[in-house]
Amino acid sequence: MSDRQKTRARPNPRRAFAETYGAVLAKGIERRSVLKGLLALTAGAAAMPYLGRTATAAEASTLTFAELTRVRDREDHWPTGYSRQILARWGDGLFADSPAFDPATLDGKAAERQFGYNNDFTFFMPLPLGSASSEHGLMLVSHEYATPFLMFPGLTADDYREKLTDDQIRAVMASVGLSVFEVKKTNGQWEIVRDGQYNRRIHMGTEMAISGPAAGDDRLKTKADPSGKTVFGTISNCNGGITPWGTLLSGEEGSMDVFAGDFTTLPNQELVERQGWDEEDNDIYGAGRIEPRFRFEEEPNEWMRFDWVVEIDPLDPTAKPVKRTALGRFTHEGAQCAVAPDGRVVVFMGDDDDFEYLYRFVTRDPWNPTDRAANRDLLDNGTLSVAKFESDGTMTWLPLVAGEGPLTAEAGFNSQADVVLNTRAAADLLGATPMDAPEGFVVHPKTGKLYVAMTENEDRMPTGEGDEAEQVNPANPRGPNPHGHLLELVPPGAPDKADFAADNFKWDVFVLCGNPAVAEDGAMFHPATSANGWFTDPDNLSVDPSGRLWVATDGPPPEGIADALFVMDTEGEGRALPKLFYVAPVGSECCSPTFTPDGKTVFVSIQHPGELRFEDDEDAASIADAGTNWPDFLQGQPPRPALIVLSRDDSAVVGS
């Protein structure tokens, strides 16, 4: 998610931590295998020393491409010996009858037949399902949010809310959500199969079911849906994941922006406040003008029907998507899946706000690998839990179950519906560890380890300053933390029989982001990291078929450079040694790298190009003001978020 779109959640005073900053940091460093023998740090140290370059370690990296030089440009950049192709741009047709893209006449009906805006989660699913095809598959892509004044000519950030026409509002509502479409490689080039049998657009008007503990609850009932089991649309689809049976899980991350009116009229203001509502940022699409359900005064329960995980079957375009309420309600960054040794499915999720939590859901029943239909409602029953980190390198998953521990009826948790509808407050009561805006979550298929991105948290404070709940803690050891960090979680039994459903994991700091040459940053990478290889603000994470970790950043980046894509080994002498692989055009971020099974092709989403002005990195306020009109570079035309393809010219594995 773009940092400029985030809303800070209000901290809760029930959280408390006693470790000192220096002691926590020292304990974390002592455990780190990547720096073992390379670093001595006293317990009272409050900042990382600069780690000098070690050539022999750099040679141990499995990455052989020529690392890029940091740059800030209106164009994008990729390594020598590679080619880059634009596969799908905002407005490109996904169906045989899709109209040509024209922002001057775009309306809802046209947008429903076209690739959406601001693509984020991206996944290549080989066809047929279960095959290892690397030249034919489905692309599953989410479209997180829209910026109307960068979409339509004649609008500005100051006046677009008043000037948007009804047709433009409907176009915006149809341009977010998700795209599912078939792709095929022909004569060395990837193309959209516009008559693909699975092609589908999901948007703010798509009918969906509500299942799980909150389905049918009075707080989800509306005038249009007195059953509380049907909702139209999905909002703010950020990252996601794929279940073992091949369905897509899409995380709704922050529905508050879309609603209009006075939210102080809503019932349960404590819950409203805990969700982090911000009056100044509401009604960004004007949806309430054409659909009364998006106005608080007209439909006070509609907002509760968003901020869930949505399950979508990409192999059945007629299947109704389902909001799985058992996975909790919060600002979902994604939903990464793993399978425990006993066959139960485990979903890992981050709540992408400052001082929020890491969550996990474990299904009650094992999945059925031989009967796909038998897994249809598997995610409706299981245990939701939240993470608590200790300074000794252990962490515990605390069950969020109504009637257990502090989640009593007296505390407002009479049923599991109460828990999932107010997940953040339940996690507060259990004393979970508040994190620095957790985003990307990925399971390493070779080692069984999990990597989690903490994007940043400038409101984190050193021990002894401000609210105790906002001070440093074992897993978030810097205050403030403007650069972010990566954690490495290790379940018991890893790598061969990793028990992702176990109550207790081990953990470590994998990297602390920032510039190693600036002592105040407190950065910690492999000592051979180059001046181009370090990064800040990690967001989406992926692991390629060779086992290397790819990190997409989401700024604001340091002055003079753009958000980019980095890659590093997770094991061996090149562990935590990142190299700069791709640089996005100014004002954009690259999201969710995904690979063909042979590792020879990587797809990357490029979101919100031109959102910053080129001359000063301030927010762009119109198409004329945009920092770039990539990728078409047509005078007077808007920049277009796009899905790109990167591959080696010699057809070898990407990165190697």
- 348 has pLDDT over 90: yes
Mean pLDDT of 273-302: 89
In the structure encoding, which two tokens stand for residue 119, read together? 């693509």
Helix/strand number for the chain, H first, E second: 8, 30
Q: How far apart are CA 297 and CA 291, in angstroms?
A: 12
- What pLDDT band is residue 280 in, cutting at 50, 70 and 90? low
Q: What b/e readout covers 401-440, taking b as 16+ CB neighbours within 10 angstroms?
A: ebeeeebeeeebbeebbbbbbbbbbbbbbbebbbbbbbbb
The whole model's pTM is what? 0.93
- 363 has pLDDT over 70: yes
Mean pLDDT of 126-132: 94
120-129, 277-286, 489-498: the lowest-pLDDT one: 277-286
- Among the listed residues 656, 527, 535, the one whose alpha carbon sits nearest the alpha carbon of residue 57: 527
Mean pLDDT of 72-79: 97
The three-state secondary structure class of 140 is strand
Residue carrying the six token digits 């007296």: 410
- What pLDDT band is residue 557 in, cutting at 50, 70 and 90? low
Q: Which residue blocks in 254-404 are alpha helix, DSSP H?
A: 269-274
- 566 has pLDDT over 50: yes
**Whether the Cβ atoms of residue 401 and residue 361 lie closer than 8 Å to each other:** no
Q: How far does Cα 66 stand from its chain's mean position?
A: 28
- 186 has pLDDT over 70: yes
Q: Prior bond to 631 cis, omega within 30?
A: yes
- 551 has pLDDT over 60: yes
| Composition of the chain by helix, strand, coil, percent to 5 | 15, 30, 55
Strand pairing partners for 362?
A: 346, 383
- What pLDDT band is residue 561 in, cutting at 50, 70 and 90? confident
Q: What is the pLDDT of residue 203?
A: 98
Contacts of 304 (CB under 8 A, 6+ apart): 219, 220, 329, 421
CB-based burial label for 579 (10 Å; 0-12, 13-18, 19+):
buried
Q: What is the pLDDT of residue 425?
A: 97
145: left (phi over 0), alpha (psi -120 to 50) or beta: beta
CB-based burial label for 283 (10 Å; 0-12, 13-18, 19+):
middle
Mean pLDDT of 383-411: 98
Phi, psi of 54 (to 5 degrees): -125, 105
In the structure encoding, which two tokens stand for residue 446, read together? 């070779």
Half-sphere exposure of 194 (CA within 13 A, CB side): 14
Mean pLDDT of 276-283: 72
pLDDT in tens, 12-38: 322 322 233 234 344 444 444 333 333
Mean pLDDT of 310-336: 97
